[in-house]
Amino acid sequence: MTKRTALRFDANHRFKIVQFTDIHWKDASPHEPRLLAVMESVLERENPDLVVLTGDIVHSPTRTLDGCRTVAAPMIARGIPWAPILGNHDDEGDASRDDIAACLESLPLSLMQRGPSELGGHGNYALDVLHTGSDHPAARLCFLDSGTYSPLKPRVGGYAWITREQIRWFESASRGRDVPSLVFIHIPLPEYLAAWEKGCTVGTKNETICAPELNSGFFAALVEDSRVLGVFAGHDHDNDFAADLQGISLCCGRSLGLDTYGSLARGARVIELTEGAADFTAWIREESGAEACRFSHSGLAESSL
């Protein structure tokens, strides 16, 4: 499969995504062999149709772009297309956010697009997953750059948020596509806390949800869309829960990085869509090979009623 080749449900009408998040590659780290081994083990076991990197791919003072190439290597070697977005730490080293996005976009099998320049981000784009036997879309995957830190400090502290311009772009990109969709971001939405507090969850919350202090209304746009099944974020290394809120599964990834904090076993979230169904199944694949936290979107929503 080559760059920009269409994504498609397989002969069994399934489409599988592996979400790697918070990889935190660091130059000269002694953990690099183990980091890549975990990635390779997950890819070997799951054999996904797509890998999504939900930010903080690299967190290194030096050789940032080399880190991007190193992290991409396991997918490239297996011929698996991959779709990255940036986190809040990627550009804290020796490369700008624009240079990192350009590097990621240029690598083999990358499906990243920097997106409309007027949005101000580096990676706002959407990908269709086509039907098994036709070139008609059967599902939609949306990727948004959730930014870094609040641009309104000191009045508003904390992390950045999905902007109103991005919300309008999302609504425009989704218009006229009556297919199930998934959304991928780095920084979780403020509504993740409300979803957790409802109590109908699968997985673990071991730390405060580090959402933006300002709520820009993106979740309302997702609910109004009605085709959005789930949101997948990274950022919080000790959270891996999934919880339903108003019919949308709000999911944390399982952190992969070894040069950063986090007590959970390293691994990845796996997401499997079924062609023609407004549903998905997800689970965690751990470094040991064990599976954890399996749930279905429809079952999670039903349990929250």
Element (H, E) at 32: helix 32-46
What is the per-residue pLDDT for 118? 87
Phi-psi region of 102 (alpha: psi -120 to 50; beta: other; left: phi over 0): alpha
Question: What is the rounded average pLDDT of the residues 154-166?
Answer: 97
CB 143 within 8 Å of CB 124: yes
- State the Cα–Cα distance between residues 136 and 185, nearest whole angstrom: 25
Give the pLDDT score at 303. 83
Q: With cut-offs at 50, 70 and 90, classify the pLDDT of residue 4.
A: low
pLDDT at 1: 36
pLDDT at 3 (0 to 100): 43
Q: How far is CA 37 from the centre of its chain?
A: 20
pLDDT digits 0-9 by tens, 213-239: 999 999 999 999 999 999 999 999 999
CA distances to 106, 146, 152, 305 from 294, rounded to whole Å, are 34, 27, 39, 19
3-state secondary structure of 120: coil
**Model confidence, pTM:** 0.97
168: number of CA atoms within 13 Å, CB side? 6
Q: Give Cβ neighbours of residue 105 (< 8 Å, ≥ 6 apart).
A: 112, 113, 114
pLDDT, tens digit (0-9, with 9 covering 90-100), for 24-56: 999 999 999 999 999 999 999 999 999 999 999
As beta bridge partners, residue 125 has 143
Q: Is the pLDDT of residue 176 over 80?
A: no
Residue 2 has pLDDT above 70, yes or no: no
How far apart are alpha carbons 125 and 141 in whole angstroms?
9
Look at 304 and 248; give whichever has higher pLDDT: 248
Average pLDDT of every residue of the chain: 95
Query: From the CB of residue 177, how many other CB atoms can be counted at a distance below 10 Å?
Result: 15
The 3-class secondary structure across 240-261, one letter per residue, is CCEEEECCEEEEECCECCCCCC
Classify residue 148 by its DSSP letter: S
Residue 175 CA to residue 142 CA, distance in Å, equals 13
- In this predicted model, which residue has the larger pLDDT, 20 or 301? 20
Which stretches of the chain are DSSP H helices?
32-46, 64-78, 97-106, 164-174, 191-197, 218-225, 297-303
302/140: higher pLDDT: 140
Tell me the C-alpha distance between 60 and 68, whole Å: 11
Structure tokens belonging to residue 58: 């690299």
The band of 58, judged by pLDDT with boundaries at 50, 70 and 90, is very high
Q: Which helix (H) or strand (E) holds 169?
A: helix 164-174
CA-wise closest residue to 255 among 23, 18, 17, 16: 23
Name the 3-class secondary structure at 3: coil
Structure tokens that stand for 238 in this block: 């000790």
Can you tell me the distance from the alpha carbon of 80 to that of 71, in angstroms, rounded to the nearest whole number? 13
68 pLDDT exceeds 50? yes
The stretch 70-81 carries a mean pLDDT of 98
What pLDDT, in 10s, does the model give residues 87-133?
A: 999 999 999 999 999 999 999 999 999 999 888 889 999 999 999 99
Q: Which two tokens stand for residue 81?
A: 């297309």
**Average pLDDT for 202-221:** 97
Q: What gap in Å lies between CA 236 and CA 239, rounded to an integer?
A: 6
User: Is residue 83 scored above 80 in pLDDT?
Assistant: yes
